[in-house]
Amino acid sequence: MTVRQGTQGPATTGRATLVAGLPTAAAPVHAGAGARVRGRRGPRAPAPRVRAPVGPGLRTAAARVHDGAAHVRWYVRQVMGDDAYATYAAHQRAVHPGGVVMTEREFWRMRHAEQDANPGSRCC
């Protein structure tokens, strides 16, 4: 094993640097200076908490995903007819302000009755 003393000498530094092997009784090595002794680790500081950086690129990516999901939701609702009554009621109130707006129950009964009477081209 080779132990090297500090450049200033043992009187000023008081620390030896371990080059290879294990420390001996003649040349003590301090484990707290970053050197490792077999089977034992020196004192370590706790690992710092690192938060993932949230930069403008990540925020815009999240916004794009949110916007894309909103567009898909809108498309599916339009194809399935989920918001047909809301569209009907908004149209009736905007175009015919004094007119009577059917209730939602009446609207769906009329819509299904019309689809049954005039099937047109649809899958089922």
End-to-end CA distance of the chain: 86
Band of pLDDT at residue 17, cut at 50, 70 and 90: very low
Average pLDDT score, the chain: 73
Return the number of other C-beta atoms located less than 10 Å from residue 31's C-beta.
Answer: 15
State pTM to two decimals: 0.44
Share of the chain above pLDDT 90, in %: 30
Q: Which two tokens stand for residue 124?
A: 């089922």
60-99 pLDDT tens trace: 888 889 999 999 999 998 888 888 999 999 999 999 998 9
Q: Which two tokens stand for residue 109?
A: 């009964």
List of E strands, 1-124: 2-5, 16-20
